[in-house]
Homo-oligomer: A and B are copies of this chain.
Amino acid sequence: MEKQSVTIYTVAREARVSMATVSRVVNGNPNVKPETRKKVLDVIKQLNYRPNAVARGLASKKTTTVGVVIPDVTNAYFAELALGIDDIASMYKYNMILTNSDADDRKALQVVRGLMAKQVDGIIFMGHDIPEELRQEFSSSNVPVVVAGSVTNDDELPTVRIDYQEATKQAIKYLIERVDGPVALVVGSKDSTINKRYRIEGYKQALQEAGKDFDEKLIFETHDSYAEGYKQSQAIADSGAKAAFVSDDGVAAGLLNGLTDHGVKVPDEFQIVASNNTKTTEITRPKLTTITQPLYDLGAVSMRLLTKLMNSKDEDKEDDESKDVILEHGFEKRQSTR
A118 on the B face (CB < 8 A): yes
Q: Which of B98, B114, B253 contacts A283 (CB 8 A)?
A: B253
Q: Which of B58, B98, B250 contacts A96 (CB 8 A)?
A: B98
Instruction: Convert A116-139 into 0s and 1s, putting 1 for each residue whose CB lies closer than 8 angstroms to a CB of B.
Output: 111100000000000000000000
Instruction: Convert A51-67 into 0s and 1s, putting 1 for each residue whose CB lies closer than 8 angstroms to a CB of B.
Output: 11111011000010100
Q: Which of B58, B96, B113, B116 contacts A97 (CB 8 A)?
A: B96
Determine the chain B residues whose CB is within 8 A of the CB of A52 once the complex forms.
Answer: 58, 117, 119
A76 on the B face (CB < 8 A): yes
Among the stretches A12-20, A82-90, A203-211, the one at the interface with B is A82-90
Known contacts A226-B279, A226-B283; can you find 20 more A-B pairs with CB under 8 A? A3-B142, A4-B142, A50-B116, A52-B117, A53-B117, A54-B118, A55-B58, A65-B118, A68-B98, A72-B83, A73-B83, A83-B100, A86-B99, A95-B99, A96-B97, A97-B98, A226-B282, A260-B285, A283-B284, A284-B285
Whether the Cβ atoms of A63 and B54 lie closer than 8 Å is yes
A257 on the B face (CB < 8 A): yes
Q: From residue 139 to 160 of chain A, which have CB atoms closer than 8 A to chain B?
A: 140-142
Whether the Cβ atoms of B73 and A87 lie closer than 8 Å is no
CA gap between A55 and B56 in the complex, in Å: 10
A239 on the B face (CB < 8 A): no
Whether the Cβ atoms of B90 and A111 lie closer than 8 Å is yes
Residue on B with the closest CB to A57? Answer: B54
Point out residues on A near B: beta carbons under 8 Å.
1-4, 50-55, 57-58, 63, 65, 68, 72-74, 76, 79-80, 82-83, 86-87, 90, 95-100, 111, 113-119, 140-142, 226, 250, 253, 257, 260, 279-280, 282-285
User: Can you name 25 A-B pairs with beta carbons within 8 Å?
Assistant: A4-B141, A4-B142, A50-B117, A52-B117, A52-B119, A53-B117, A54-B57, A54-B63, A54-B119, A55-B58, A65-B97, A73-B79, A73-B82, A73-B83, A76-B76, A83-B100, A86-B99, A87-B100, A90-B100, A95-B118, A226-B283, A257-B283, A280-B283, A283-B283, A284-B285
Whether the Cβ atoms of B73 and A86 lie closer than 8 Å is yes
Determine the chain B residues whose CB is within 8 A of the CB of A82 once the complex forms.
Answer: 73-74, 98
Distance to closest chain B CB from A61 (angstroms): 9
Whether the Cβ atoms of B86 and A114 lie closer than 8 Å is no
CA gap between A279 and B99 in the complex, in Å: 22
Determine the chain B residues whose CB is within 8 A of the CB of A96 once the complex forms.
Answer: 97-99
Determine the chain B residues whose CB is within 8 A of the CB of A3 once the complex forms.
Answer: 142
Distance to closest chain B CB from A94 (angstroms): 10
Distance to closest chain B CB from A111 (angstroms): 7
Whether the Cβ atoms of B100 and A98 lie closer than 8 Å is no
Residue on B with the closest CB to A3? Answer: B142
CA gap between A37 and B53 in the complex, in Å: 33
Determine the chain B residues whose CB is within 8 A of the CB of A279 once the complex forms.
Answer: 226, 250
Distance to closest chain B CB from A288 (angstroms): 11
Residue on B with the closest CB to A141? Answer: B4
CA gap between A193 and B18 in the complex, in Å: 48
